[in-house]
Structure 1
Amino acid sequence: MTFMGNLEELSPYEARDAAGFIESMQQLKERSGLTYRELEAQAARNGDVLARSTLADILRRTSLPPPNLLAAFVRACGDGQRASAWLDARDRIAAGVVAVSATAPSSVPEVDATAEAHLQTEESTGSHPRRTKRRTVTLAAALMVPLLALAAWELLPDGSEAPGAGAPAAAATASRTPADGWVTIRPARTPDLCLTDGRDRDGTYNSAVAVQLPCTQATVPRTYLEPVGEGRYRIQWHHPQMGKGCLTVMGADQIKGLLEPRNDCTQGTLFRLEPTAADSAGAFRLRPAHSSRCIGILDNDTTEGAEAIEEPCTGAADQRFLIRRN
């Protein structure tokens, strides 16, 4: 196994409020190495409108940018493959603001009205119906986030309650979302153990795989849970020497079903984290987004060094994990 990548990779999800989000945008601009004029020119080459005066005004304020301007900015900075993640992170902050606006209206950071007016004026002078439509759809999606969050956490039939039973508990469970950012992932029944870097116990594979070890021994690599939108996450491992790798379910050419950190995170497995109704500790099931299976512990083992593996969803205790912010 070889880790690569920047240990401190910029993630839009690290921001917890509008001011923090603007700081992340400022960092992205700095990393691009481009001036405001160059960003404007690059956006034009991309088919976007991004006036340098509007962008400069946005980055001086502490209010959320319009979605269309944000997407154009991210693409111009060269991070276009993650534009949807930036928009999702922005919408999360906007949705959180809406949730508290009834009790604290004065604290609501609004979308920058001046920038929005600039953007509408700029778009009215050119032929850009595609981008105007996208902004409308994105704003509508932001308003639907609370509803979509409930739908995204639908439980599997395996081990779940019969329809109509325990409805209040199910509703409370569906609204629970995992912590993201720097976390530990622990089997719920053995919370002193963490999923971390190890080797398969048969010694048949040379590279690292995910195993459960005492958390006191699992300080390296650090685990970063990265939301990528639509209720999906990447599980990143960050090593001070080896860099970054993303957990990937192995195929038939390796030890099928085990989890290996791969340095190409674009090929890493995306996971859905589904809250479980059977555990009051706030546990989640880890489900690879590409399959209907779950992550569990090989042979339902509770011992140190047991490997994590993709297996049929059973609702058993070995398939429940605690996500704790680190």
Structure 2
Amino acid sequence: MTLMTSQREVSPHTVRDAAGFVEVMKQLKDQTGLTYRQLEEQAARNGDVLARSTLADVLRRSSLPRPDVLAAFVRACGEGQHVGSWLDARDRIAAISPAASGTKPGASGEGEGDAGIGAPPETEEPTTSRQGQGKGRTLAVASVLMISLLGAATWGLLSRSSHDSGDPSALARTPADGWVTIRPARNPDLCLTDGRDRDGAYASAVAVQLPCAHATVPRTYLEPAGGGIYRIQWHHPQEGKGCLTVMSTGPVKGMLEPRNDCTHATLFRLEPAANEGAGGFRLRPSTSGRCIGIVNGDTAEGAEAVEERCTRAADQQFLVRTSGDAQ
């Protein structure tokens, strides 16, 4: 997809390396006419975190930014509808040259680095002289093993503290099941409920965010399916029971439709969201490894829920609250 603006075309898809990718990011920023501070403020209004110091550092370097930083930046530039295209281009470059992302091949890069880029490349250990190895070799091997064990222990502690849950106690946190409401964490007065896609491209209901006070029907039931995964049921007085299913084809591909056949409905894993003090969760379809968010990070009433690449953006965090006994 080519990105078009009123001034000139800015597209990441012809770029072949990380330096070129950062260059088109600079072009996009220049085209907005916004300062680093203004982009930070716009990101905050979108529900994202984009520190101006982080963005300035990203645009000074020649490494690929982290996906969450890139997504927040593109949205702050007013190109929210093209976030997926920018992320796809980033992934393509990272696959061609893993070193460009600053992460090891196969690593996600989420949460790494100091300034919105991956962790710095590893440096080689200096080689030692062959003189006087003999007895010293045993001591050297023992020292290396000791350092490795200490390093592994330290890494384990650091990894646990930087896990998506935000704190060790949240690792075991699970959502309340039964009758619940599912609310976007940044808009807790809204609930996921049935509505229609705003383009009018689909005749059946899909999941959208609407004021909870007006979303009493259908009722939502979170059904444990074992192994830490859940079905999301909707109970409607006229339509009966349906289970949310990610659409794999058609005009609303990626959106969530309530299907009567719950045995083939999407199963969701609810993971504690990063740094979410209110007990937020990420909804992740168990078979895709992606996340449920709101189309283009929209905060408007009626915005559709959609399956998308996980970016840690605010629109991918949801609150699960009990809603009383079944009627």
Asked whether 1:246 is paired with 2:243, we answer yes
Post-superposition Cα deviations, 1:199-218, rounded to whole Å, max 9, x if no partner, equal 00001100000000000011
Query: Which deviates further from its counterpart, 274-283 or 261-270?
Result: 274-283
What is residue 262 of structure 1 aligned with on the other side?
A: 259
Asked whether 1:182 is paired with 2:162, we answer no
What is residue 319 of structure 2 aligned with on the other side?
A: 322
- 1:186 and 1:178 map into 2 onto residues whose CA distance is 13
Q: Structure 1 or 2: larger helix share?
A: 1
Change (3 A) 1:232 1:225: same
Asked whether 1:301 is paired with 2:298, we answer yes
**So what's the TM-score if we normalise by structure 2?**
0.50
What is residue 203 of structure 2 aligned with on the other side?
A: 206
Asked whether 1:225 is paired with 2:222, we answer yes
SS of 2:158's equivalent in the other structure is coil
Shift of 1:259: 0.2
Change (3 A) 1:208 1:159: same
Q: Could you list the runs of 5+ residues in structure 1 that have no partner in the other structure?
A: 1-155
**So what's the TM-score if we normalise by structure 1?**
0.50
Q: Could you list the runs of 5+ residues in structure 2 that have no partner in the other structure?
A: 1-106, 114-154
1:108-119 aligned at under 5 Å gives the runs none
Asked whether 1:286 is paired with 2:279, we answer no
Shift of 1:292: 1.1
- 1:245 and 1:314 map into 2 onto residues whose CA distance is 29
- Deviation above 3 Å: which 4+ runs of structure 1? 156-170
Shift of 1:253: 3.0
What is residue 313 of structure 1 aligned with on the other side?
A: 310
- 1:166 and 1:286 map into 2 onto residues whose CA distance is 22
Change (3 A) 1:158 1:294: farther
- 2:258 and 2:251 map into 1 onto residues whose CA distance is 13
Residue 165 of structure 1: which of 136, 155, 158 is its match? Answer: 158
Equivalent pairs counted in the alignment come to 171
SS of 1:223's equivalent in the other structure is strand
SS of 2:173's equivalent in the other structure is coil
CA contact (8 A) 1:158 1:313 kept: no
Question: What is the CA RMSD across the aligned residues, in angstroms?
Answer: 1.8
1:98-113 aligned at under 5 Å gives the runs none
Shift of 1:232: 0.7
Which one scores higher on RCO, CA 8 angstroms, separation ≥ 6?
A: 1
- Matched residue type, 2:158: A
- Matched residue type, 2:253: K
- 1:158 and 1:205 map into 2 onto residues whose CA distance is 36
Identity in percent: 68
